[in-house]
Amino acid sequence: MKIKSFKLKNFRNYEYLHLDLDPAANIFYGDNAQGKTNILEAVYLSGTTKSHRGTKDRDMIRFGENESHIEMIVEKKGIDYRLDMHLKKNSPKGIAINKMPIRRAGELFGIVNLVFFSPEDLNIIKNGPGERRRFIDLELSQLDKVYLSDLTNYNRIVNQRNHLLKEMSFGKSESYMDTLEIWEMQMIQYGEKIIERRKKFVDEINKIISSIHKKLTGYKENIEVIYEPSNGNISLEEAVKKNREKDMRIKSTSVGPHRDDICFMNKDLDIRRFGSQGQQRTAALSLKLSEIELVKQAIHDTPVLLLDDVLSELDKHRQNYLLDSIHDVQTLITCTGVEEFVNHRFSINKVFHVHNGQIVNEN
Ligand SMILES: Nc1ncnc2c1ncn2[C@@H]1O[C@H](COP(=O)(O)OP(=O)(O)OP(=O)(O)O)[C@@H](O)[C@H]1O
Ligand SMILES: [Mg+2]
């Protein structure tokens, strides 16, 4: 898929913007705090309904305004689609495909596929398990509508169970226990499906990541991704029952896919715990490049890649490898200076200068 153009109205520091994009590489450069990341955020939001920064809708509306509008024209397999998103200060956002309002984000995922890559992604191995779960969840939610719906249900049920555990601390009653068992049954049902799908995702990543990682490390290192369920080697059902007393005491749910992790091994070394910073970042880059490959295979098409200030974080070898790997993908790249790209084999098709919420196309 490709993004042909987009318009922003009252989004972050943009009052109004209309841009036509190149089907290959688009560079957005400018000083800090001028609105480069805001562009990528608008595109990501329009394609996934969520900000990659996790920002609330109302905070993305331009200060002093009540509504934002993003319109994006995308092409998928020769067909053009118009996507509209209205952010409102005091009510839920409105989304439409070809002017027909839609209710669920899942409807967008058949049309738009985006991979966001920011400097924080390079810390995914080093950071806590929450970020690694978020990575899997974001990816699978875009690729698999059933997963998205299972995850939504699962999260809702865990919240309800936690809420009940808090209420129960004011006194146990028979009906509380019955309700708890009902939530647990549903939690296990959705939880098992989520774990199974995530394990399959990890298998799919493993088929791709090792050759990427070998090339990135000059054939010096290996990588294997392993799914680590919080229930260990007992079933989720057993684990939930086993932890019930404890959960009642701590008033929260201590096992389940919302507590799982993924582990990255270099032979016998757990890169999360024992890898050097460089090894961790290289593993993260391999993971990200595998993600792009996996999305390509899953959608039989290319996603659009949003690269936020990532190149300056990598050494020349890794920069080159990244740029070579994405030559067939439409890319929106932000950076503070454009000079670093000039010497690359990578051809820059469109260069935009970003300054204080305004953009000038320089070619
Ligand atoms: N809701 C909003 N309304 C108006 N301006 C906003 C809003 N939210 C953020 N901004 C402004 O947007 C600017 C930041 O934009 P952005 O994050 O895109 O910067 P950037 O060009 O990516 O900078 P850096 O190079 O530091 O990453 C800030 O000046 C901030 O004040
Ligand atoms: Mg930025």
Domain boundary assignment for the chain? 1-113+301-363, 123-299
Cα 277 to middle of ligand 1, angstroms: 29
pLDDT of the residue at 224: 97
pLDDT of the residue at 341: 66
Say which residues have a Cβ less than 8 Å from residue 78's Cβ, sequence separation at least 6. none
Please tell me the residue having the least CA distance from ligand 1 atom 27: 32
φ/ψ bin of 299: left (φ > 0), alpha (ψ from -120 to 50), beta (otherwise): alpha
pLDDT of the residue at 316: 85
Among 16, 87, 7, residue whose Cα is nearest residue 358: 16
Which segments of the chain are extended strands (E)? Answer: 2-11, 14-20, 25-29, 67-76, 79-88, 94-97, 100-102, 114-117, 224-228, 261-266, 269-270, 304-308, 331-335, 350-355, 358-361
Domain 123-299 = CATH 1.20.1050.90 = yes
Total-model pTM: 0.90
**First-to-final CA distance of the chain:** 24
Beta strand pairing status for 79-88 and 94-97? antiparallel
Please tell me the residue having the least CA distance from ligand 1 atom 13: 33
pLDDT of the residue at 312: 85
Domain 1-113+301-363 = CATH 3.50.50.60 = no
Can you list the residues of the chain whose pLDDT is less than 50? none
Among 217, 330, 235, residue whose Cα is nearest residue 281: 217
pLDDT of the residue at 2: 97
Please tell me the residue having the least CA distance from ligand 1 atom 17: 37
Closest ligand 1 atom to Cα of 60:
1
**8, 9, 13, 61: residue to mutate for ligand 1 pocket, most atoms within 8 A of CB:** 13
Domains 1-113+301-363 and 123-299 agree in fold: no
Among 230, 291, 234, residue whose Cα is nearest residue 262: 230
pLDDT of the residue at 343: 59
Cα 337 to middle of ligand 1, angstroms: 17
- Measured distance CA(25)–CA(329) in Å, rounded: 8
- Measured distance CA(354)–CA(362) in Å, rounded: 10
Beta strand pairing status for 350-355 and 331-335? unpaired
Cα 357 to middle of ligand 1, angstroms: 8
Ligand nearest to the CA of 10: 1
Among 253, 220, 225, residue whose Cα is nearest residue 124: 225
Which sign, positive or negative, has the C-alpha torsion 355, 357, 358, 363? positive
Closest ligand 1 atom to Cα of 31:
25
